[in-house]
Amino acid sequence: MSQSKHDENPFEENENEAKTTEEAVTDSTENEDGSDGEVTIESLQEELETVRASADKNWDTVLRMKAEADNQRKRTEKQVQDAHKFAVQKFVSELLPVADSLEMGMAAEGDVEQIREGMNLTMNVFNKALEKFSVESVDPLGEKFDPELHQAMAMQPSDEYEEGHVSAVMQKGYTLSGRLVRPAMVMVVKN
């Protein structure tokens, strides 16, 4: 009875493959410089070690770059958090003299005119602090009604102002660098 290919020793096939690989390694090949030379296992192992050293160096570089990127991300997050926490610090420091002036005014004794004069000085300090940070008031008395800046509370007839104009300001509005913070609450003329 003849043996089928499946009944043969499976290791024989692997041994034949190993011999062919070994023969291929020791075969004469042309070097990069054009000369004929023999490639040996030792030369391949040396080349492998060189490649491994290069790969290790590159891997180390990648790890360092990743660590630096993580550190930079953490620094940036901290800076953003600090910016959010302390963004109004300069504004607050400009308002503190206003608070001091109000406290002195509350403790002051004198006639109404002196107290009004002190309040006027406090208002000037406050307005200068607002101007310094590009906060402008919207006081549209007599101007044409602008729904972008004004909030109409009511309509009333007026002989003094044209129709569609602001006849009274109940509360000033404010803008910050041209952006509306609070609209002015106004009465609009409707004849």
Note the pLDDT tens digit of each residue in 1-15. Answer: 444 444 555 545 545
CATH number at residue 150: 2.30.22.10
Q: Report, as an integer, the average pLDDT of 156-180.
A: 95
In-domain check, residue 181: yes
**pLDDT score, position 37:** 59
Domain count, the chain: 1
Residue 172: pLDDT over 70: yes
Instruction: Give the C-alpha separation, 167 to 177, whole Å.
Output: 26
In-domain check, residue 57: no
Domain containing residue 175: 135-191
In-domain check, residue 2: no
Residue 124: pLDDT over 80: yes
State the CB neighbour count (10 A cutoff) for residue 183: 20
* Confidence class for position 39, pLDDT limits 50, 70, 90: confident
Of 150, 140, 155, 139, residue with least CA distance to 185:
150
Summarised one tens digit per residue, pLDDT across range 42-89 is 999 999 999 999 999 999 999 999 999 999 999 999 999 998 888 888
Instruction: Give the C-alpha separation, 98 to 112, whole Å.
Output: 20
Instruction: Give the C-alpha separation, 66 to 179, whole Å.
Output: 41
